[in-house]
C-alpha cells in the first residue's frame, strides 16, 4: 500500500532539455519519425549544404532521436527544413543510425500523406494531390490519392536513376571475389544475388543476410570510387541490396533485402533501392519502358511496384553514354 501511494504522488522533476514535436509513421513496415519542430535552425543556402550543417553541428540531436531510449537501431527520421525552391511544398533531410541519406522512397511515401493530412498542401485535389518534396538528391514528386477528405495510396516520380557499373569484381572478406552491379536511384546501391552466399532473402536468418550485405558494402566502399554528375555529396555507397536473383520480367513479385547505413535493415522493399533496381533491369534489357514490376521485402513481405517511365541519354565521358531513367 505504501509503494502504491508513493508512486501515485511521485512527480517528474522539471525538464531542462529540448522538446520536439514528431509524428511517427511507417511504410510497408519501415518506420519514419517526422520531426516537425524543436530543431535549431539548420543553416545553409541549399538542401545539400543544410545536410552538411546538420551532420557537422547538430548530429547529437540525430542520435538523441534515432537511438534508444527514444528510438532504436533501425529507426529512420525525416527532418522538415526550409526549401530554397518555391517549387517544393516541403524540404526534408533524411537521417538514420549512421548519419544522413540523400533519398528515401518509403519516407517520400509517408511524407506525401503527411503533407496532405497536416495541411501542408492547402488545396488537395481529387483523385490525386501532387506533393513536391525537395530531397538532398533533388526534387521528387509524390502523388497522393485523395477522396472525401481522406488520403490513400501514394506513388512518386523520382530523380533520374542510372546504372553506374555492371559486373564489378570486388574482394569480399570471408567470401573471396564476387561480382556486383552498382546502380543509383537517389542513392547508390550494390546489387548481388543472395544465392552467391548460399542465402535466401525470404527465408535465411536476418543476421546472416546482414553480415553478407555488410561485407559487400565494405568491399565496394574501399575498392570502387563512385561518381555523381551533380555533386560529390551524392557520390557514396548507401548500402547493399541482396536479391532473389529473379531479374527477368515476371508478373510474380521479386524479393530483395536492403542493408544500409550501419547494418540497418529496411523492412520495406526500399523505395530508392527499387528505383535503382528498375534502372538496372531496364539497362540490361530485362524489362521494358512502362512495364510494371512488383518488388517484395524479404524482411516483411510488404510490396512496392515500380516502372521506368522516361529515358534520356547523356554523355558520361567522351566515349560513353549514360541512360537516365525517371521511375
> Which cell is 281 given?
533491369
CA nearest neighbour of 139 among 46, 28, 229, 54: 46
| Cα–Cα distance, 12 to 4 (Å, whole number) | 16
CB atoms within 10 A of CB 74: 17
Beta carbons within 8 Å of 241's beta carbon, 6+ residues apart: 189, 190, 191, 192, 213, 256, 257, 258, 259, 270, 273, 276, 277
Among residues 10, 104, 230, 258, the one annotated as catalytic is 104
Long-range contacts of 125-129 (CB under 8 A, 24+ apart): none
141: phi then psi, degrees, rounded to nearest 5? -105, 120
| Whether 104 is catalytic | yes
| Cα–Cα distance, 18 to 11 (Å, whole number) | 19
What H or E segment, with its residue span, contains residue 159? none
Active site residues: 104
Amino acid at each position: 500500500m505504501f509503494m502504491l501511494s508513493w508512486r501515485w504522488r511521485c512527480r517528474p522533476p522539471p525538464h531542462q532539455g529540448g522538446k520536439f514535436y514528431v509524428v511517427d509513421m511507417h511504410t510497408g513496415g519501415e518506420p519514419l519519425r517526422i520531426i516537425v519542430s524543436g530543431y535549431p535552425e539548420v543553416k545553409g543556402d541549399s538542401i545539400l549544404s543544410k545536410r552538411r550543417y546538420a551532420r557537422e553541428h547538430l548530429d547529437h540531436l540525430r542520435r538523441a532521436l534515432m537511438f534508444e531510449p527514444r528510438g532504436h537501431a533501425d529507426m529512420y527520421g525525416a527532418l522538415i527544413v526550409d526549401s530554397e525552391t518555391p517549387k517544393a511544398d516541403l524540404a526534408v533531410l533524411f537521417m538514420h543510425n549512421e548519419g544522413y541519406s540523400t533519398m528515401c522512397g518509403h519516407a517520400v511515401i509517408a511524407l506525401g500523406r503527411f503533407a496532405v493530412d497536416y495541411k501542408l498542401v492547402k488545396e488537395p485535389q481529387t483523385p490525386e494531390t501532387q506533393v513536391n518534396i525537395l530531397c538532398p538528391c533533388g526534387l521528387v514528386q509524390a502523388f497522393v490519392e485523395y477522396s472525401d477528405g481522406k488520403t490513400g495510396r501514394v506513388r512518386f516520380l523520382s530523380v533520374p536513376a542510372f546504372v553506374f557499373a555492371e559486373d564489378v569484381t570486388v574482394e569480399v572478406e570471408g567470401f573471396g571475389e564476387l561480382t556486383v552491379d552498382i546502380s543509383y536511384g537517389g542513392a547508390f546501391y550494390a546489387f548481388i544475388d543472395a544465392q552467391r552466399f548460399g542465402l535466401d532473402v525470404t527465408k535465411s536468418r536476418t543476421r546472416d543476410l546482414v553480415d553478407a550485405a555488410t561485407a559487400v558494402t565494405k568491399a565496394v566502399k574501399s575498392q570502387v570510387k563512385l561518381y555523381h554528375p551533380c555533386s560529390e555529396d551524392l557520390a557514396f555507397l548507401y548500402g547493399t541490396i541482396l536479391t532473389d536473383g529473379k531479374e527477368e520480367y515476371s508478373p510474380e513479385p521479386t524479393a530483395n533485402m536492403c542493408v544500409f547505413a550501419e547494418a540497418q535493415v529496411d523492412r520495406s522493399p526500399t523505395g530508392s533501392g527499387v528505383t535503382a533496381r528498375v534502372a538496372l533491369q531496364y539497362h540490361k534489357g530485362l524489362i521494358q519502358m512502362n512495364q510494371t514490376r512488383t518488388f517484395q521485402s524479404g524482411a516483411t513481405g510488404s510490396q512496392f511496384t515500380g516502372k521506368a517511365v522516361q529515358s534520356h541519354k547523356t554523355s558520361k565521358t567522351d566515349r560513353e553514354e549514360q541512360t537516365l531513367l525517371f521511375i
